[in-house]
Each structure stands twice: as structure tokens, then as C-alpha cells.
Amino acid sequence: MFKFERQYTVSVTDPRWLDTTEMAAWRAFLFTSHLLERRIEEQLKAVAGLTHPQYEILVVLSEAPGQQMRMTELARDVVVSKSGLTYQVNRLEKAGLVERATCPSDERGVLAVLTERGRRCLERVAPGHVEVVRAYLIDRLSRDELHAMTSAMRKTEEGLRSSV
């Protein structure tokens, strides 16, 4: 038996192997997500020296009320650990794209705040980012395929989030 993080226990004597269809789906997802992530990283690095997680932090902050968010909520929304978020926000802060502020309703809380420079950076980088997403994913799928993908990924996300 192997023990994984959380409540996962896998029996080595009785694995439920993937059949041909399941393996094809898994590998297609895996290879595609890795290749797409690489293309996105290349574009963001070339245009702004950003990583994909840093870009996502800027996007989430730009959409938040007052373009600010508690660090704990931000970590949840960009799906990264608190320490991982702290590391990325430190780098964004050094670049002048984000700043931290004390939460007015809770002195222990820390807000990440998108700066004007961060907003301008996002406006400059977003068009190229969406071009990559369109060219390598969105424009290659029909509307029905996009709906099916959205439904499947939401089911998977729901299962993953409920097990946390």
C-alpha cells in the first residue's frame, strides 16, 4: 500500500488500471496541458518577464473589488499554497506590480493590491496571452466541444476542491 497526502490510500495488489479510452483521455489532457502551459510561459516571459502564476495573480486582482484581495483568498482563487503565493507576490512587489496593505477590518489580515503599474502591465500583456490561448486551444474547438470541456473540467474541479 502507498499512502499519499490527505486521505488517499492505493492498494498495489488491486489497481484499477485505465482502459484504452481512459488512457487516451488522460494522456491527451496531460500532454496538452503541459504544451499549452509551456507556450503561455514563453509568451509571458518574452513580453513581461512574468510567470503564468504571476500573470494569474494580476488577473484575479484586476477583477477584484478595489483591485485588492486578502492574501488567503487570493491563494485559494489562483490555486497555490500560501507560501507559494507569498513568494510570487514578493516578486511582483519588487517589480512594482503589486503592493501589500493591512486589511482595514482585520489588522492581522494582509491585502495584495494591484498597482497602477501592474494594471498597465496587464493591459500590455493580456492581448498576447489571449492570442496564445485562442491559437492553441479555443479556436481549435467547436462550441459543442468547448461546452463539453467546460462541463468535464468543472466536474473535475468540483471533486478536487471538495476533497481539500
Q: Confirm if 82 and 71 have CB atoms less than 8 A apart.
A: yes
The x, y and z cell numbers of residue 149, run together, are 470541456
Tell me whether residue 56 is in a domain. yes
Would residue 81 count as lying in a domain? yes
Is residue 27 assigned to a domain?
no
Q: Would residue 23 count as lying in a domain? A: no
Question: Structure pTM?
Answer: 0.86
Residue range 120-138, pLDDT digits in tens: 999 999 999 999 999 999 9
Could you tell me if residue 20 is inside a domain?
A: no
- State the Cα–Cα distance between residues 88 and 90, nearest whole angstrom: 5
- Which residues fall within 8 angstroms of residue 61, CB to CB, at 6 or more apart? 67, 68, 69, 74, 98, 112, 113, 114, 118
Range of the domain at 153: 46-162
| Residue 18, domain member (yes or no) | no
Q: Give the mean model confidence (pLDDT) for residues 63-79.
A: 95
Q: Which residues of 85-103 are buried (b: 16+ CB within 10 A; e: fewer)?
A: bbebbebbbebebbbeeee
Measured CA to CA, the distance from residue 10 to residue 78 in angstroms comes to 29
Whose CA is closest to 41, among 153, 157, 136, 154?
Answer: 136
Grid coordinates given for 58:
494580476
Which of 46-50, 62-66, 103-107 shows the lowest per-residue confidence on average (mean pLDDT)? 103-107
Q: How many domains does the chain fold into?
A: 1
Question: 2-22 pLDDT, tens per residue?
Answer: 445 555 555 567 799 999 999
The answer as to whether 82 is a domain residue is yes
For residue 78, being part of any structural domain is answered with yes
DSSP reduced 3-state for 159: helix
The CATH number for 74's domain is 1.10.10.10
Q: Is the pLDDT of residue 36 over 70?
A: yes
